């Protein structure tokens, strides 16, 4: 099977079986999404969604958060991973939005990357989810699933994975494909023991092919 054929089959399967895949983070506007994505680093979306309602209420705009302190923000996010660092980044992020971007979240990757707490994955999430632009955020789930299926050739970094996926997935499907891969990795192709027995991608998966064949 060629890589082109593998991509074709995988995309067709996802399109038929997960047509409405979308983020599981709760938000109402780009500012709230940026807050949630910063919090989601090495933390589950479920946990973030438990924290954000009170956080959004206390800090409803970049201006309010920019005028607060990391200590204030910390009290709302202390159950998330790395709350000290994230509290500092959230306040700095809000201050940057207020001072440099008229309190608006920018919609291009280079500008997003100038914001404290925003790395390439977070910036790509903003492009794909908040602004519906073609982008492929690569987190641990996307990285793992793409390598296992064989969509990438054992890429060593998230950036390698991103470039490979962007090269082979049609632009109009990129942002949805991100959700396909992340949700598949979260619920089916899990890290320790993938649930191959219930996975519809088995016919095209390199991992399954390698691990289901009897030893020669």
Give me the active site residues, please: 121, 139
Residue whose tokens read 């940026």: 34
Q: What count of residues does the chain have?
A: 216
d(C-alpha 82, C-alpha 127), whole Å? 25
Phi, psi of 145 (to 5 degrees): -65, -45
Q: 139, 125 in Cβ contact below 8 A?
A: no
d(C-alpha 111, C-alpha 106), whole Å? 6
d(C-alpha 66, C-alpha 160), whole Å? 35
SS3 188: coil
Write the DSSP symbol of residue 140: H
d(C-alpha 20, C-alpha 29), whole Å? 20
């Amino acid at each position: 099977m060629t890589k082109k054929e593998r991509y074709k089959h995988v995309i067709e399967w996802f399109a038929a079986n997960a047509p409405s895949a979308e983020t599981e983070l709760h938000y109402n506007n780009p500012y709230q999404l940026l807050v949630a994505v910063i919090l989601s680093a090495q933390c589950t979306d479920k946990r973030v969604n438990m924290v954000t309602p009170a956080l959004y209420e206390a800090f409803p705009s970049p201006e309010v958060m920019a005028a607060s302190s990391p200590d204030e923000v910390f009290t709302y996010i202390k159950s998330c991973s790395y709350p000290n660092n994230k509290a500092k980044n959230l306040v700095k992020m809000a201050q940057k939005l207020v001072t440099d971007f008229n309190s608006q979240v920018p919609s291009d990757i280079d500008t997003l990357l100038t914001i404290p707490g925003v790395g390439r994955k977070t910036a790509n999430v903003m492009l794909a989810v908040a602004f519906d632009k073609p982008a492929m955020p690569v987190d641990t789930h996307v990285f793992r699933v793409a390598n296992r299926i064989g969509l990438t050739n054992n890429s060593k970094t998230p950036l390698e994975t991103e470039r490979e996926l962007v090269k082979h997935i049609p632009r109009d499907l990129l942002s949805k494909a991100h959700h396909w891969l992340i949700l598949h990795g979260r619920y089916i192709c899990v890290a320790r023991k993938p649930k191959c027995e219930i996975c519809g991608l088995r016919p095209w998966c390199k991992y399954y092919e390698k691990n289901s064949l009897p030893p020669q």
